[in-house]
Structure 1
């Protein structure tokens, strides 16, 4: 039977998720020859072999792809056979002007956790264990295509054993870019409150001991630092609340497993599924009547934010028999400021909060805070879209020119868009704080760099004094102003793929109205472009302006 050859372009989240190893092994299993390589668009594949083998290959690309991949589009083109002898993984090619999709950071997989806790494994208790199916991605990527040389792992040369795993197409770590071990990879250290090194054979084990004694420890994670303490120790939690200047907002807590969570919160089947999802978000759960957590964890609330371990360090914190079974694990920052991720700012920003610091020498390229969700009608309702989702795109039907949408000032999130793809940025915080506004501007620059999008138009909120809006207006680009509540309703329309006119109810809070007054509690008849204000709460005078609503 004569051989045929196809060129396949797979676009989507196909870099950093084990897609090339999957393609390599699939091609060899079907006796196909050819090659595969990363490019700015995604992955390019050429296969050659029998018609039956090629058809099975193309079908398997869509049905059997790695679990962390997300294929947006597959294009095929017939080529003339060239008679390749084998199938090869080729070096990445930095070519093309299209957008490469970058995978979010992933939780540590079951296989790696098993090795992490296996005394006979060479990565026993190694805090940076990972493989093709798990580990950091977005937070370590400096550019595309996704290769080790363009990540913060570039300065960690692999030892012979790690290199052998990386080169073995049958190994779970085949082309795993963050691959490392205690011999060649990053390492953790424990520092005191003055930043001086503490001699510790096992820094994570010593961290647990300090937490048991009521201390507060800043722990470097995937996308930034957390502040951790014993969630059952009222004095420790109250100290954290006072030092962090967090008067009322609740703290998130982390537990070793779902059974432990059930001691202090109700968990149904859908919520258990969300807790165990690969994104490992903070999930809002109803508290049980039994008092388990310290009162200061979530004062005056009947809910608490809970998540499960998603990094090797998290699992190690709970690995000892006498380890605490629930910890406060909150963003490493002063309230309303962005989470700290740069080691150079650690003492300056968290020095007055943490008693100790569990640090490491793997740089975080850019911050990414924890995501927050609640279960709603058998789905995850995203309240804060960040780690686990960012920078995954939202796909839209209508093509758009390169656009920057600056968002609002509170709980700020921007978006970049081009073509059929929208990239919502990470959660930043409230832009009235100088650190948050600085992070907002730097985050936009980072997104522009990694996605190669240079906006031709900027979209801003109508408010004349929003920091985000005035930043957009200052860029020298054509500006589109959008009414605050119309933007909220339009975003819900897009999320649910609605077309035509809708009646939208927006109760999110205040926003600058089309008549120059502050609106809030709006019923709009609208589509994506236009709106009519049908009903609203009566206007009230606000002595002191914004201060009156705080």
Structure 2
């Protein structure tokens, strides 16, 4: 054949592309369609479970360009993780089409998360000439509810709660127009065919635009509203009105726990808060999390900061992420207090009937809408440490994102059972594993009541249905008093693997950082059930997914009153002073000066300290921080979990941003190592001397934080000397402490260790379920997989 002919006329080729990543519910199929049209490629695109299948036909150059641009041209929130290319016979398709979804397939891809309102839809909302003007449910392929409305996959309208709202002719024309940004937008509706809103108070009821006007008026008058959003209800009030915030605290029985602020736009945030580049990126991303920010000095002239976040330097701030929020906040002061819409001790409210019956004692009015929520989901919370955004609470916008896990080598050649990790009792999540991919649920809160357990079961059942998972392995915390573990073990018999709390913490950080070799784990948190049956919480471990060994730990602290001491850090403070002085007269002198308001309780406290009355001992970083916080007069009584430690850490926060090496940041307190345990009695003795010498509290706090970082470094050094391991993971809720994390990392890196931390998974108990599930799978593999052979016939 003539070479000119070969160059001028290329042979046609057809390929199948299996695309995985965040490719459903984010406008990926319309993107593929428009790309094919532009390049002259024929074929089709189709959703199959959690991935997208594309068949593309054209010349070799067209197909190469098509595949290249599929990989590299999508814009967020689309994320292409992997494309598998398979050659197919030519079909001679004339066009490129979007085919109906199929419900078979492995379901291993990314699933659509709830996305904040995009700029184009915001412009529609504020454009009087648009049919979406002031429409509370405006969305397109780039924004709107996704996971919270999804009942099953693949992600199509008939599988969402929008099934109840058939498209009108106008919306239908947008839906089928491949060059409209609402082409195949599954959440598309307008005022003629979409959900309705309704305002209700004890005296009146309004619908549609009148409901918006009534709500805005109520907020301006200082009233509290319960507003239904994407994943549930918020309590909202005007953040510039201190009395409204005070009323909300009283009604919700939340005396000091911080509230979050919703701001009208980024300009308003930057006017009142210090915002770094990384914080700005997090605030304005499609996930729209709550970001902890430091207010500027003049912010207190507009906002009652002490009422919003008592005792804290940083305040949670986020931007409106639904059209309804945008409309309401644009007509008020530009600042709302927004907090989860639930009564104290109850799960998040997300059904209209439950809100009408359960929230009226807190809210003056309710702003409802008729679109159902398939699964409730709270707001995500995070902060920036060392110029990197890290999640403290993972929920809306970040869930459910698939996480590929390290597998035991033998399992790469064999299938394995589905797994569920039940999670911890506090800050609970659950985790499911299928085909080497983990899906961690949204933050579910504390599992204190039967209502919480029902909520947990509902969420995990929803996830099992979505991902077509039937767990054959359950991993759980063996704490004998964890109701969530006991509830999870009921039902049909399956393989059960207890995973200790701090082992799960270490494993979760390993998974997130794709580690499967042995590591040194520095686990600092409030409390967790230990291997010896006592309470742990300040540990240096070595191990992997199968086993671990404790190398260092805090010498156990006496916890007078047991659980009562967690709510009363002054009791821990007295215990620390008594252990440090070894002299009752000296102890009395200090505690009479530091805790005079509790003097009537001293006799019973001393009975516990001397052993006349029983008290538990704990190895807990959280309790150590609580006690020091009380000694320094920062927080005597905690009204929410971790309050004392959080307020202590806030005083060290400014030092985290100051340049300079460790040597420039002051000295550390002494500590001793006794029988492989850190003894902090010298630390407390020296701290009391600094108090006597009137050293500024901020400098004492700094020295204490540096001391804890030095203890961690010593423990890691000892573990490495013993094992040769140089990889270190940091996990546990205490690592949410910004200064401690920065200082400890700096010290470890300076000694040549490789340090891994959490970013997309919470370092607190929200990551426990992931660690449980992966440890359970590895232990199952160790018991069942024999030199490349899967023993699936093990008797139960």
Task: Determine if contact 1:212/1:230 at 8 Å carries over to the other structure.
Answer: yes
**Higher gyration radius (CA):** 2
Aligned with 1:37: secondary structure?
strand
Task: Determine if contact 1:7/1:45 at 8 Å carries over to the other structure.
Answer: yes
Instruction: State how far apart, in whole Å, the 2-side matches of 1:309 and 1:253 are.
Output: 10
Deviation of 1:100 after TM superposition, in Å, equals 5.2
Aligned with 1:154: secondary structure?
helix
C-alpha distance after superposition, 1:455-499 (max 9, x if no partner): 110011121111222123224211111111121122122222334
Task: Determine if contact 1:193/1:354 at 8 Å carries over to the other structure.
Answer: no
Residue 523 of structure 1 pairs with residue 540 of structure 2: yes
Aligned with 1:280: secondary structure?
coil
Aligned with 1:202: secondary structure?
helix
Residue 461 of structure 1 pairs with residue 466 of structure 2: no
1:305 to 316, 333, 337: 316
Does 212-221 or 74-83 show the bigger shift? 74-83
Residue 332 of structure 1 pairs with residue 349 of structure 2: no
C-alpha distance after superposition, 1:30-58 (max 9, x if no partner): 11111111111411111111010011111
Instruction: State how far apart, in whole Å, the 2-side matches of 1:277 and 1:229 are.
Output: 25
Deviation of 1:274 after TM superposition, in Å, equals 1.4
Aligned with 2:307: secondary structure?
coil
Instruction: State how far apart, in whole Å, the 2-side matches of 1:159 and 1:452 are.
Output: 33
1:488 to 492, 500, 505: 505
Normalising by structure 2, what TM-score? 0.67
Instruction: State how far apart, in whole Å, the 1-side matches of 2:474 and 2:33 are.
Output: 42
Does 338-347 or 200-209 show the bigger shift? 200-209
1:285 to 261, 278, 293: 293
Task: Determine if contact 1:108/1:134 at 8 Å carries over to the other structure.
Answer: yes
C-alpha distance after superposition, 1:152-181 (max 9, x if no partner): 010111111100000011111000011111
Distance 1:200 1:500, change over 3 A: closer
Residue 247 of structure 1 pairs with residue 258 of structure 2: no
Deviation of 1:543 after TM superposition, in Å, equals 5.5
Q: Which residue matches 2:53?
A: 44
Deviation of 1:97 after TM superposition, in Å, equals 4.3
Q: Which residue matches 1:74?
A: 83
Greater fraction of residues in strand: 1
Q: Which residue matches 1:315?
A: 326
Instruction: State how far apart, in whole Å, the 2-side matches of 1:44 and 1:501 are.
Output: 38
2:235 to 220, 227, 230: 227
Instruction: State how far apart, in whole Å, the 1-side matches of 2:99 and 2:312 are.
Output: 55
Residue 217 of structure 1 pairs with residue 228 of structure 2: no
Task: Determine if contact 1:100/1:145 at 8 Å carries over to the other structure.
Answer: no
Does 538-547 or 207-216 show the bigger shift? 538-547
Instruction: State how far apart, in whole Å, the 1-side matches of 2:431 and 2:202 are.
Output: 38
Instruction: State how far apart, in whole Å, the 2-side matches of 1:43 and 1:530 are.
Output: 39
Distance 1:530 1:120, change over 3 A: same
Instruction: State how far apart, in whole Å, the 1-side matches of 2:445 and 2:189 are.
Output: 33
Residue 148 of structure 1 pairs with residue 157 of structure 2: yes
C-alpha distance after superposition, 1:319-378 (max 9, x if no partner): 23xx21211011101234221111121122211100011111111111010000000122
Deviation of 1:313 after TM superposition, in Å, equals 1.1
Task: Determine if contact 1:460/1:480 at 8 Å carries over to the other structure.
Answer: yes
Distance 1:193 1:101, change over 3 A: farther
Instruction: State how far apart, in whole Å, the 2-side matches of 1:193 and 1:426 are.
Output: 34
Distance 1:500 1:211, change over 3 A: same
C-alpha distance after superposition, 1:267-293 (max 9, x if no partner): 222212211111110011123333132
Deviation of 1:75 after TM superposition, in Å, equals 1.4
Q: Which residue matches 2:791?
A: none
Instruction: State how far apart, in whole Å, the 2-side matches of 1:147 and 1:259 are.
Output: 36
Instruction: State how far apart, in whole Å, the 2-side matches of 1:319 and 1:286 are.
Output: 24
Task: Determine if contact 1:152/1:364 at 8 Å carries over to the other structure.
Answer: yes
Task: Determine if contact 2:381/2:393 at 8 Å carries over to the other structure.
Answer: yes
Deviation of 1:2 after TM superposition, in Å, equals 2.1
Instruction: State how far apart, in whole Å, the 2-side matches of 1:258 and 1:95 are.
Output: 43
Task: Determine if contact 2:196/2:207 at 8 Å carries over to the other structure.
Answer: no
Task: Determine if contact 2:41/2:58 at 8 Å carries over to the other structure.
Answer: yes
Does 72-81 or 180-189 show the bigger shift? 72-81
Q: Which residue matches 1:347?
A: 356
Deviation of 1:506 after TM superposition, in Å, equals 1.4
Q: Which residue matches 1:275?
A: 283
Aligned positions of 1:109-508 closer than 5 A: 109-193=118-202, 197-198=205-206, 201-290=209-298, 291=300, 292-294=302-304, 295-320=306-331, 323-398=332-407, 401-475=417-491, 476-508=493-525
Does 268-277 or 150-159 show the bigger shift? 268-277
Deviation of 1:414 after TM superposition, in Å, equals 0.9
Aligned with 1:286: secondary structure?
strand
Instruction: State how far apart, in whole Å, the 1-side matches of 2:208 and 2:26 are.
Output: 34
Task: Determine if contact 2:197/2:207 at 8 Å carries over to the other structure.
Answer: no
Deviation of 1:213 after TM superposition, in Å, equals 0.5
Q: Which residue matches 2:733?
A: none
Q: How many residues of Structure 1 are paired with residues of Structure 2 in the alignment?
A: 547
Instruction: State how far apart, in whole Å, the 2-side matches of 1:156 and 1:462 are.
Output: 46
Task: Determine if contact 2:48/2:107 at 8 Å carries over to the other structure.
Answer: no
Greater fraction of residues in helix: 2
Instruction: State how far apart, in whole Å, the 2-side matches of 1:199 and 1:282 are.
Output: 30
Deviation of 1:435 after TM superposition, in Å, equals 2.3
What is the alpha-carbon root mean square deviation over aligned residues?
A: 1.7
